[in-house]
Chain A
Amino acid sequence: MINLPILPILIPLAAAIVLIFLSKSVSAQRIVSVIASTATVISAIIVMAKVKSDGIQTVDMGSWPAPFGITLVSDMLSILLVLTASVITLCVVLYSFRSIGSGRENFYYYPIVQFLLLGVNGSFTTGDIFNLFVFFEIMLMSSYVLIVIGGTKIQLRESIKYILVNVISSAIFVIAVGFLYSVTGSLNMAHISVRISEIGSEPIITVLAVLFLIVFGLKGAIFPLYFWLPGSYAAPPAPILALFGSLLTKVGIYAILRTYTLFFYHDQPFTHDILSMLALLTIVAGVIGALAYRDVKQILIYNIIIAVGILLFGIATMTEESIAGTVFYLIHDMIIKAGLFLLGGIMIYIAGTSNLNKMGGLIRQYPSLGWTFLLASFALAGIPPLSGFTGKLLIVRSGFAESEYVGSIIVLLSSLAVLYSVINLFMAVFWKTPETPLPDVKKRTGLLFVPAAALVVLSVLYGVGTEAVYPYVMQAVDALIQPEIYIDAVLKE
């Protein structure tokens, strides 16, 4: 079937439409959500198998040939990220049954989650820079609803900030795309890449590179532009936070990865040096936040920022090995962040607060939760053989090979800081004697625990099975390092 790459986008859309009609019945919404999310995962696996065997898959929308129409392109990188995003959404939907509350369930929570997945999968798949903007907007509009749904005071305050920042960055996005179009005369990403390599390293291209870095940096939360993230992400409840933390910033990172390998690789001494500097500052800022706060949500949120810095450093180094490391780490970080936020949500639910000083002693009543969280913490810090290790190893090794000593050492030290911050969290929540003794009645957390633990198990498998994942990642890296592969597949030359 030639329309295969569209399925992971079309299924969430169809599900969202059906769910709008079912807004009265919560149980029907749950059933449809689970079926649709599972179907999305399955379709992504099928597309991935197809990409593995037959190379990059493209669909020219409306039969308009590239570069004139909109082309959807599923290369290995896109489909790996689509698959990861779909699996995370499935787990979050399952987790939501017991945690999101009937108020939100009755007000279009499930359709909006599907719209969010539609936007995320679309952003990963599209091969047209303006269409990328459209899918970004779908994703952002869904996130506006998710951040405000429920309408508590803190949500209303933070959503104003969030919407304002994103409206401005969307405006800059359109301006940048218009700029790019006036320079290259095309919107098809493969075609733009061809045109830019014809122009060579004109200063205007460098200006565009910085402009796009600002746009994607605002979404992806890199150093000076991350200011809105800690506040806004802390407002919504755990399942929404897990979706935001694991998907939204990563779409920004994906866009930087794509544009900086496909368009802006001509003036690397300037663009990639800026990127590398910002990456290191992002790591430092994230570490400071993660060590300073005494709050479950904030510590985990600042860990997002650290990961963003590490990923950007991998992109900035721009060798085959570092890009491979970035792809490894990107997928790892999506899975483990979702898992950690879901586990954090359970901890907050049990303790009734997210303040570390008021928590403690959970290990006695919830041992499995505690040990799973510890395992996830180790995976996050990148202790071998867990999943964070491979990506960080490749990024740091290529950093040393390119004599980026300072950067590599900062990445290494950041792992220690990450480990310290999450172990600190673990000790405070599970080990420490609580101020007020815990009630004897155990809260039921089984149905919350299963999807969160599933993500942690997936992350462990991803780490242990690195050997099996390796050929997939390398296929993704090939198309990034050699843009010709991507261009030939899209323009069919």
Chain B
Amino acid sequence: MLATALGSPAAFGQSQFAFVRGNAFEAKVKADGGTELLRLLVERLGGGAEAAAVAAVPDLTAAGPEGRAARTALALREATAAGSWTLLDHPMLALEVAGSPAYLEPDAVVVHPDGTWTVVEIKSFPMIDSSADAAKVGAAARQSAVYVLALERVAAMTEGAEVGHRVLLVCPKDFSNLPTASVVDVRKQRAVTSRQLTRLTRVEDIADALPEGTTFDPGCSAEELGTAVESVPAAYAPECLAACELAFHCRAKARAEGAVEALGRSVRGELGGLTTVAGVLAAAAGKEGDPADPTVAALRRAAALRAEALAGVDGGVPCH
């Protein structure tokens, strides 16, 4: 809404076809009290354990996210104490992000009889010949890593509990609707996320830094909102386009400022201290910059070589 009010709407949305399929697949995987899911889990992660024919599926309904999170924590403790296979269908977990609580809802968490908790992520992209799209698996792993972090907060307060760092990714097999599963080790993603979470600026600190009276009410004029959004520093990179609704707004700003990052993060690294398009071009043309600076010298050589090659197209550099 804010992006639309700013005049740079971003297109995010899910096709109802994909939505319906995703839900249908998840329902199929969890059908019959999770028998099939548990079979897959024991097969891939059981370590020789026998699958329980039936797992306990506690009721997790409660009022509000806090209530559901508390209910989930209780169910996890009970299941760990009971030492039996338990399937938590859509539990609610709380994780502190930048100083404010965020509520997360994994597809499922399974409690093993030995007290291990395993995150289960159900995705509707196919696993064809036992391999799936690397980008999608990566995204699923990052998502699961956040759930693992949130679960660890609960496990720390539960005796005998341990959160498994290997999560179970369940996908449709080949071109069918039959589920298949693969174990994904998320230790790395967990470490990265954990580090990022500790480094995040707290929301209160960001809010404190804003000028008095700043509002992000989409009802305000585009101009007012523009000023408001500008008061929060943001570092645009093209990767933002896939993830953030304000990306087109930030891109327009970055381009207007002539920031070289708008062409990609790697570009910035290549250009050393030069950060604007105009600055780089002026340096390359020999109008600005210190020739002793290796970046400037390389740029000038690049510009000269490029000009020579392009000029030679008609006249011809008789090299070959």
Does B associate with A?
no
State the B residues within 8 Å of A (CB): none
